[in-house]
Structure 1
Amino acid sequence: MAASSGDSRLFEFLEQQKSKLEESRKRTGEIPRDRDSRQTLIGLHLAQDELMKEDKAAGKQKRLFTIIGDPYLPSAACHENLKKILIRDLQLETHHRGRYILLRCVVLPIRQNAIISVVEDETGDASTFSLYQQEPEHIRPAADILNESTVLLLKEPYFKVTAGGYGLRVDHPTDVVWLVDHHPKVPNAWRKSHGLVGKTVEELKTEGNSCFLSGNYAEAIKKYSQASSSGLITPEEDEIIHNNRALCHLKVGKYDAALKDASFIVNHNARSDKAHYRGALALYGLGNFEESMTWLNRLIEKFPESVAAKQGRQEMERVKLRIEEQKTGKYNWKKMYRYAKLGPVDFATYDTPVEVRQVEGKGRGLFTNKSVKCGDLLACEKAFSYVCASEKGFPETSAAFGALINLTTNRVKIGTDAAHISNVYQKLIDNPSRAHSFLDSYHGTYEPGPERNEDGASIIDSFLIERIVSFNAFGCPVTSKNQELSRKQAGEVSTSSGVWPLAAYINHSCIANCARTFIGDMMIMRATQDIPGNIEITWCYHDPTNRVDLQKSLLENWGFKCTCPVCTEEGSTGKDITAQRNKYIAILNSTHKAEDVLFGQLNQLYRPPAKEVPRFEVFLACYKAAMYWLLSDFNLTLVLRFTKKALEALGFEIEGINESSGGKLVVRKQGVPVPELPRLWQILMMTWNAKGQFKLAEAAKKHLKMAYLIVVAGEDETFKEDYDLTIKNAFLGGVRKNR
């Protein structure tokens, strides 16, 4: 959302931070003469560390505020082409292009939004050092990233005013070059006595194995890399080292690197059984299931009796399921629910019926490439990035819940969006082969720099990630069908969010032809009506029934105004006509009564029929009236009348129903899939059952099942066991408050 004065405390905080940013900008280019000494900085750092430990012991948890200031491009320079600079020469609010600085950590770090340490240069001058976009603590401890005595080279350093003085800030970790002890740029005074010199390949391999067994995969990778680059290794030893390192890379999700190590022997016929198996696992992690199957087939054919082949046969069953899901869109939904309780689920993306195309005036959009029926699966997409948070907080498994505040765009997003920035950054660093699907997403007017530096290495721009996340992240329940029930049972507000690159191409319309639901990190997209081939898929970015806030939300969050038929009709309607409509709607809302004369007069105030241009304000009034007569007076005649009119206001074309004598339920045209849709069909089913019109009730149940599939769950395997509980709870508590 964009911050406004109605967001009181957040708005005040935003304005304070913007004022500080303006004051900092005034000092651009200044070399500060009041920097704290090395000893003072270390003392302040240790005091902050103690305070954080006390807060943790006391169970205090703070919501994190991630503040995005002036964006700057990552360094694309080769460090060999840069000139050295010292801390004493650093200028405030400046990116020192063409320069590099050598730094050594002098304390153990603390973790806040960034990993923070105190560093010194070769002269002993010190500065605070904040490194952003790192793995969470439970994946990689801060002390493993910025350990005491770690030596690094920072390209084109950014020196800025901080809350406690001045400091170096690294938003782009690709600006950091991590230096090993024997690197020629490491000063002699900083070298350790127990370096690489004198260690054999076998010793380094043994140390790597020990690190692996203790779960320190990053250190194991370093040891294996040192052994491989020692120059004293035989080809046979090098293959073993590469296979060992491949396993470490698999453990930390670096599938590109694991595949490269498994492919160390170019001729696949000469590779070991472990290389085949680990390569297959890497390909699985990258979502290349067909190729993973090829590697497994080679493994079993060449090494049929090996332990790896036995494991490969088990893995084959999993790969076959993923290939089937990709091709057919057939999923084990109940199994998906079980997995969703534990985190990201192990299922493949299905997107066969859709493709991305250019849309005149909109950039790109998602289109059908064949005809689909109402309820058909358009896509079931696995998130590129997915994070969860809880009000109570589960730090071992959850991301922090807080605010992402961009001072230059004046936008504030509450939730877990900030966690996506570091999560995506690490994914792009770890597996650059998957970067395109994310980086190709819409990012507004932000102009990113080159994707590779002068050495050919990948560059990752964290500000580009923030822009993409800001426009394309979806807030979502852990599971759509259990959203309301799970909140009541847990007694807390839980939230999750994700980035689904394919779904991000879907453009907005108030008259959506697609609906989405969630099971864990899988987004399920279904057609809400019959859609011919080559038609654009749309959904509504905001509650379509909240006409007051819709255009404001679209403009503030995505920068456009809706021009769908509903919005066009509203924009062309004069104030007098709008006032008359509101008068009749007010009568409906206050009395919950309406004779045919009133509806006739109301209909005359609209030019296009509701089946072409839905009337959301009429829908809300009729829906509330139906609920009123069902729950207060149980007047079944009025319940039927208002429920039918609510559906018609949404654009449904319904024939064959006679309020007094019944008839045959025929839906000629589907309407807008609002969240209340299942409740409307359940009202009809319950009412007709109460009136003894069982054929009509059974027909309504079929439409209820379709609404459950499209709006509630995304699947209908659980309909029979769940709809009574899930929809009834939502139904009984679902009367909307008057706006």
Structure 2
Amino acid sequence: MSFEKPHDILFLTKEEAERIRNVVKERFKKCSQLTGHAREPRDSKSAISQATGASLMADMGSMALSQFKESKMPALTVGQPYQPCITPWNGLQSMKLSELRLETHHRRCHLAIKRVSPVVTHATRSWTIVQDEAGDTERLEIVLHKTRHSKEVLESALSFILREPYFTLTEEGEPTLRVDHPSDIIVLYERENPQPQSHSPVEPEEAASSYKQKGNAALQQGNLPLAHHYYTTALDLLTATSSPNPTLTRDLHRNRAYVNLLIGHFTAAKSDALSALIPQPAENNVQAAELNGKVYFRAATAAYNLRQFEDAQDFFEKQLALMPANKAAASNLARTKARLREQREGVYDFAAIRASLAGGKTKGEVDATSFVSYTEVRESPGKGRGLFTVKNVAVGEVILCEKAFCVAWRVQTAVTCDVRDDRIRVAAVGLERAVVERLMGNPSEIGMVMDLFGDWDGGAASGLQKTVDGPVVDVFRIHDIVARNAFGLGQDTGNAGLWVRAAYINHSCIPNAEREFIGDLMVVRAVRDIAAGEEIVLSYDESGDYDARQRSLLTTWGFECGCALCAAEKGDEVSVREKRKRLTKEADDFIKTVPRTAQRLAILKARRLAKAIDETYEAERFKGLPHLASRGIRQWLAKGTS
């Protein structure tokens, strides 16, 4: 579960919200009416011309031609999920554009296409015009997850394979091929023929060597996906031979390990690095020792990023044994040992971690790791799963420290209209993108994220990590998981992240714990003594207004709170709630305008406000319960005596 998400605050007029709903409903109605209708052919020349003009307009920063163009941020329809394709593309039947049917997922089929126009890029989608082998053209759109390694997917190559293509309508009612799941589009990089001009065939080793050079050139140009493709092609050629050249094979694995590190594919980087090790180099073989030292560094760096600190320590130690004068190796080993102490013992140097953030040199990503040994995930009656302590925890003691799985800084947001409940929300789509990209690069982490609560279960694809075509991530499930489990990093920061362990902490308006953020490290402490086996609860919404709090909990997290405080507040007369609301606003305005160094009369006024708010809580009914509405003004008063 999540709480305090600033990106959920939405400033839309009723008219704007209703307009968005009407556009979504109209599209949904039109799609339903056209389901199964044959595709109408496009005029190739006019389609390409339209895309070219739209691309120029987008490049000039013009507003996208959309029915949502008056909104203050991009708009997306959610709540119509479908599973990603889980069948390798060569196991699917080939089809043509002329065979497309509207509002249809063409299951068990694939479509080979090439791009024939510029790419039109917008905040949450990119589109272009594509052509099949028969010469027919059609619009192709990628929604939200349109980049890989900071590059537009549609601009990364000319040829693509669409697995189980989805043909539907845009929000503007225009027919389009639509891609939501990154794994449903396969990029076919141009394969240059490495053979010489003679008619004699090229040996696999010679071809692999040629692809290695192409990979090196792509790497120098900063085209990491293309470099990865060339190194992989070369390795595939060598693997197919009966006796692959071991030196060339190791070179390719070593180079690809470096590329994998740069693009965040840490599991693959670790595997590649270990595959590049030269077996038992002689003591006097300086070159072999240096290459192995480099390989151990890459394997250690990958393990460190995967938070596999025992492996990282082993690899850094082996690097240091081969490179005893390498100061960076010694420093990295010390860092890794510090992470192990944090992970095993919960020992943190919080002052040093805070100091590392000073000056804004980093976005907020601290060099620390998670300590979760005091907690366990269990079933919580009526709440699904929750997080429980496994030992007694004293007030003020740290219960949990967790390094974020993924954070989006100054997160991009979008208005969403969820057709499942007809609600307008704001989604942290930048965080969704970041989570999906990390999982696509590290499929071994898919399971722990997909295990979190989400409204869409994903069906057969939810537990799948990859196929022979690569990783499979259900983006609709990720959307729901982020919506239910993401955290905002404090108030009004514009940053949001996903902490997998803390996501299991359930809500209560009477919490027994509180949390703070030190960069992307979440620290959860007890606000009272907590007994072993007791559930940890945090407040998702700390509003002192009962109606506002319940509305927030229902809209964002999908439940109404029935804790003892809410039960007591529910029994208040409407007039009492209104009075409490007026007094709270007056107190909030007072706090904003009057400094704590104020004179005695201001302090007396603050005390009168606090007393007046507290008097709206009937003494017997609220006995032993907190008065949330007066908390702010009482904290203001407490600053003078702390």
| TM-score normalised per structure 2 | 0.82
1:482-521 equivalences in 2 (<5 Å)? 495-521=494-520
SS at match of 1:375: coil
Give the whole-Å Cα distance in 2 for the aligned partners of 1:516 and 1:288.
26
1:507-656 equivalences in 2 (<5 Å)? 507-571=506-570, 573=571, 578=573, 589=583, 634=601
Aligned residue number for residue 159 of structure 2: 151
Structure 1 residues 327-336 or 118-127, which shifts more?
327-336
Give the whole-Å Cα distance in 2 for the aligned partners of 1:179 and 1:540.
49
Structure 1 residues 166-175 or 66-75, which shifts more?
66-75
SS at match of 1:364: strand
Structure 1 residues 172-181 or 247-256, which shifts more?
172-181
CA contact (8 A) 1:507 1:538 kept: yes
Aligned residue number for residue 217 of structure 1: 224
SS at match of 2:102: coil
Give the whole-Å Cα distance in 2 for the aligned partners of 1:205 and 1:164.
46
CA contact (8 A) 1:2 1:557 kept: no
Letter in 2 for 1:512: P
Aligned residue number for residue 711 of structure 1: none
Deviation of 1:27 after TM superposition, in Å, equals 0.3
Q: Label 1:644 to 1:57 Cα distance change in 2 as closer, same or farther (>3 A).
A: closer
Letter in 1 for 2:150: R
1:124-203 equivalences in 2 (<5 Å)? 124-134=135-145, 136=147, 139-142=149-152, 145-147=153-155, 150-162=158-170, 163=172, 165-179=174-188, 198=202, 200-203=207-210
1:462 counterpart (472, 475, 496): 475
Give the whole-Å Cα distance in 2 for the aligned partners of 1:126 and 1:159.
13
Q: Label 1:644 to 1:312 Cα distance change in 2 as closer, same or farther (>3 A).
A: farther
CA contact (8 A) 1:106 1:148 kept: no
Deviation of 1:160 after TM superposition, in Å, equals 0.8
In structure 1, stretches of 5+ residues that fail to align are 183-191, 390-398, 484-493, 590-616, 653-668, 687-699, 702-739
1:194-224 Cα offsets, whole Å, 9 max, x none, are 6898554433323322322332222221222
Aligned residue number for residue 75 of structure 2: 65
Letter in 2 for 1:42: I
Q: Label 1:135 to 1:334 Cα distance change in 2 as closer, same or farther (>3 A).
A: farther
SS at match of 2:50: helix
CA contact (8 A) 2:39 2:99 kept: no
SS at match of 1:229: helix
Aligned residue number for residue 438 of structure 1: 449
CA contact (8 A) 1:322 1:347 kept: yes
Give the whole-Å Cα distance in 1 for the aligned partners of 2:73 and 2:424.
14
Give the whole-Å Cα distance in 2 for the aligned partners of 1:408 and 1:73.
17
1:373-522 equivalences in 2 (<5 Å)? 373-389=394-410, 399-414=411-426, 417-444=428-455, 446-450=457-461, 451-452=463-464, 455=468, 458-477=471-490, 495-522=494-521
Structure 1 residues 533-542 or 197-206, which shifts more?
197-206
Deviation of 1:637 after TM superposition, in Å, equals 6.6
Deviation of 1:462 after TM superposition, in Å, equals 0.9
1:651-700 Cα offsets, whole Å, 9 max, x none, are 99xxxxxxxxxxxxxxxx998596975863552463xxxxxxxxxxxxx4
Letter in 1 for 2:158: T
Aligned residue number for residue 5 of structure 2: none
Larger Rg: 1
Give the whole-Å Cα distance in 2 for the aligned partners of 1:268 and 1:412.
60
Equivalenced residues, count = 598
Deviation of 1:44 after TM superposition, in Å, equals 0.7
1:384-427 Cα offsets, whole Å, 9 max, x none, are 222233xxxxxxxxx43432333334233326x11222221111
Give the whole-Å Cα distance in 2 for the aligned partners of 1:50 and 1:549.
45
Deviation of 1:501 after TM superposition, in Å, equals 1.8
SS at match of 1:73: coil
1:345-403 Cα offsets, whole Å, 9 max, x none, are 132123232221111221111112222222222223222222233xxxxxxxxx43432
Letter in 2 for 1:328: G
1:28-67 equivalences in 2 (<5 Å)? 28-33=35-40, 35-55=41-61, 63-67=73-77
SS at match of 2:139: strand
Note the aligned Cα RMSD (angstroms): 4.0
Q: Label 1:619 to 1:110 Cα distance change in 2 as closer, same or farther (>3 A).
A: closer
Q: Label 1:44 to 1:148 Cα distance change in 2 as closer, same or farther (>3 A).
A: farther
Q: Label 1:194 to 1:47 Cα distance change in 2 as closer, same or farther (>3 A).
A: farther
Give the whole-Å Cα distance in 2 for the aligned partners of 1:584 and 1:56.
48
Give the whole-Å Cα distance in 1 for the aligned partners of 2:272 and 2:299.
8
Aligned residue number for residue 661 of structure 1: none
Deviation of 1:310 after TM superposition, in Å, equals 4.4
Q: Label 1:343 to 1:448 Cα distance change in 2 as closer, same or farther (>3 A).
A: farther
1:183-262 equivalences in 2 (<5 Å)? 198=202, 200-231=207-238, 233-262=244-273
Letter in 2 for 1:381: E
CA contact (8 A) 2:27 2:173 kept: no
1:679-731 Cα offsets, whole Å, 9 max, x none, are 63552463xxxxxxxxxxxxx42xxxxxxxxxxxxxxxxxxxxxxxxxxxxxx
Aligned residue number for residue 308 of structure 2: 288
Matched, 1:297 2:304: no
2:392 counterpart (368, 371, 375): 371
Deviation of 1:151 after TM superposition, in Å, equals 2.0
Give the whole-Å Cα distance in 2 for the aligned partners of 1:202 and 1:342.
40
Letter in 2 for 1:318: R
Aligned residue number for residue 726 of structure 1: none
SS at match of 1:634: helix
Matched, 1:107 2:117: yes
CA contact (8 A) 1:128 1:167 kept: yes
Give the whole-Å Cα distance in 2 for the aligned partners of 1:239 and 1:336.
38
Q: Label 1:445 to 1:304 Cα distance change in 2 as closer, same or farther (>3 A).
A: closer
CA contact (8 A) 2:545 2:629 kept: no
Letter in 1 for 2:422: N
Give the whole-Å Cα distance in 1 for the aligned partners of 2:498 and 2:95.
39
1:89 counterpart (73, 94, 99): 99
In structure 2, stretches of 5+ residues that fail to align are 1-7, 282-290
Q: Label 1:582 to 1:383 Cα distance change in 2 as closer, same or farther (>3 A).
A: closer
Letter in 1 for 2:314: T
Aligned residue number for residue 4 of structure 2: none
Q: Label 1:651 to 1:423 Cα distance change in 2 as closer, same or farther (>3 A).
A: farther
